[in-house]
Amino acid sequence: MTWTPATTLVDLDSGAVVFKHGSKQLAIFRVNTDIHAIDNRCPHEGYPLSEGSVEPASCLLTCNWHNWKFQLSDGQCVLGGDNVRRYPTRTDGDNVLVDLADPPPDEIEAAILGGLQAAFAEQDYGRICREVTRLKFNGLDPIQAVRAAIDWAHDRLEFGSTHAFAGTADWLDLYGRFDGDWDLQLVCLAESVEHMSADALRHKRYPYATSSTKTTAAGFDAATFLAAVESEDRIVAETMIHRAAGTETPWDDLESAFTTAALAHYNDFGHSLIYVFKTRQIIERLGPSVTRPLSLALARLLCNSTREDLIPQFRGYAPALEKLVGDRESSPLNSGESIGDLPPMPFPSGLRAAFEWLTVHFDHESPGRVFDAMMHVLAKNLLYYDIDFDAAWDKPVSQSVGWLSLTHGITFANACRVLCETYPHLWPQALTQMACFVGRNAAFLNVEQDVTQWFEDDTNAFFQKTWPRLLDHGLRAPIFAVHLLKTTVAVEEEIKVASSQTGRVLVAGLNRFLNSPIKQKHSRRLAKQAIDLVKRDFE
């Protein structure tokens, strides 16, 4: 213990005493015969607790700024949020001594993570920021907040992985870029934790399967896992992941099966593959400790994914894919390739035209050149999106296509390129699903609009001014902020390998997206769609 003289009993007779020692500032109270010392700054907004009111009977301190209440006996907050640190005291004659020794680091971390978990349970952004900052200024690793949040969230996601995990990969990317600038780094971590909190909020736990009588495999078996996903048998799929964790199977040994399963269908409008790619990135940044919870959530997502290739709109998908599979060995992407003499993909291109173009050119062109041509059209889709669809309230459900839907083509393609560099035999599935995006988006474009204002001559300057905006986005719902982020990250990555003309359109499309209004709530649309659906039962 480090006992330090702080005040006297005589001074305490006149009321609370403020004691300063280095960076510490304590409020010391005498209540009846007991002496209590706590941090003087209210953990809410820093108001001096020495100016608070004490109820002698209950030994309860009230911060008169916002009515937060603390037990002086242990510093616990009983009304409000964060706890306050309490310091042991003793007397030596008339002198009051305070023990200023800090607890061991593991106790400090446990206390902070306990506070963070309370903030997580309430989606309290301000407290999330405070608790993560406490990790930082106590010399602990603030990224522990993200690891903990993944663990708290993963078994509260009924349908598996969400944009919260995908966004975490990109927030961590930005966190690394702003090394040394804590206010920006804090935003990155807080955004990640808050989004996971939002998706888990008020959800009960949905336990993962730990065993299954349907499989006797000792560890992870890719064939068994893929069959389970195809049959939507999450019990077997989750069991496989538990067994992989038990044998400490690394992510690299799981990723091939996850990628294959994600591309087995036009899954969940491309989300499945995006989530596989982002899971890889999170594990690369946070280490193997998060492999198990992320893999479990991803396995559940794959079993629950919608399969758009089975609906009538995409009936051309299977025949188009069949023509591509086995045509020839896929070759890797060639950075900076020009579209050159490869005939451009028709724009706008409906599903039939997109499939026909792909089957013709995949037969004699490298996947890299085909990919670039298709990415060029996906970028144009973003650039020429008709924002009237985002504002409309009187269109059918099938035409409820907003800005976020248009961004998926870009982020899906980004995941395709990276994962197919590792697994080139999956290029046919990836490109055919890119064609689904191209064709589906064609109905929601306005190719007559003037888009010249969105082209940028200085790409570096564009991104330098974009990142600060994304870190102060002003959007209340995390789902919208994360789409701004992940689209920007995808475009920045793709322009490094895209042809010059494709890269130029990608930046223009992103520029328009970032500078366009996004309607976050469609009150009238949802009301009309509800009426249209329900009234059919009474007609």
Host domain of residue 234? 222-309
End position of a domain, from candidates 276, 309, 342: 309
User: Is there a domain that residue 227 lies in?
Assistant: yes
State residue 396's pLDDT score. Answer: 84
User: Is there a domain that residue 175 lies in?
Assistant: yes
| pLDDT, tens only, 262-299 | 999 999 999 999 999 999 999 999 999 999 999 999 99
Query: Both 325 and 449 in a single domain?
Result: yes
State residue 326's pLDDT score. Answer: 58
Q: What angle do CA 167, 170, 173 make, to 5 degrees?
A: 150
* Ranges in the chain, pLDDT < 50: 328-339
Query: Both 500 and 408 in a single domain?
Result: yes
Question: Token digits for 482?
Answer: 């994360």
Query: Both 379 and 514 in a single domain?
Result: yes
35 beta partners = 30
Query: Both 444 and 352 in a single domain?
Result: yes
User: Is there a domain that residue 537 lies in?
Assistant: no
Query: Both 256 and 182 in a single domain?
Result: no
**pTM score of the predicted model:** 0.91
Return phi, psi of residue 54, to 5°: -115, 130
Query: Both 170 and 253 in a single domain?
Result: no
State residue 212's pLDDT score. Answer: 79
* Dihedral sign from CA coordinates of 498, 502, 507, 513: negative
Question: Token digits for 395?
Answer: 């269109």
User: Is there a domain that residue 217 lies in?
Assistant: no
Query: Both 77 and 189 in a single domain?
Result: no
Gap between the Cα atoms of 217 and 219, Å rounded: 6
User: Is there a domain that residue 291 lies in?
Assistant: yes
Return phi, psi of residue 236, to 5°: -65, -45
User: Is there a domain that residue 212 lies in?
Assistant: no
* Spatial contact of 96 and 6, defined as CB atoms under 8 Å apart: yes
Query: Both 128 and 231 in a single domain?
Result: no
Q: CA gyration radius for the chain?
A: 28
- How many structural domains does the chain have? 4
State residue 245's pLDDT score. Answer: 86
User: Is there a domain that residue 379 lies in?
Assistant: yes
Gap between the Cα atoms of 104 and 489, Å rounded: 39
Query: Both 454 and 336 in a single domain?
Result: yes
| pLDDT, tens only, 365-417 | 889 999 999 999 999 999 999 999 988 888 888 888 899 999 999 999 999 99
| pLDDT, tens only, 497-522 | 999 999 999 999 999 999 999 889 88
What is the per-residue burial (b if ≥16 Cβ within 10 Å, else e) of 187-226? Answer: bbbbbbbbbbbbbbeeeeeeebbeebeebeeeebbbebbb
Query: Both 117 and 260 in a single domain?
Result: no
End position of a domain, from candidates 66, 99, 132: 99
User: Is there a domain that residue 363 lies in?
Assistant: yes
Query: Both 146 and 186 in a single domain?
Result: yes
End position of a domain, from candidates 99, 131, 159: 99
Question: Token digits for 454?
Answer: 């969105």
| CATH number, position 227 | 1.20.272
Query: Both 229 and 189 in a single domain?
Result: no
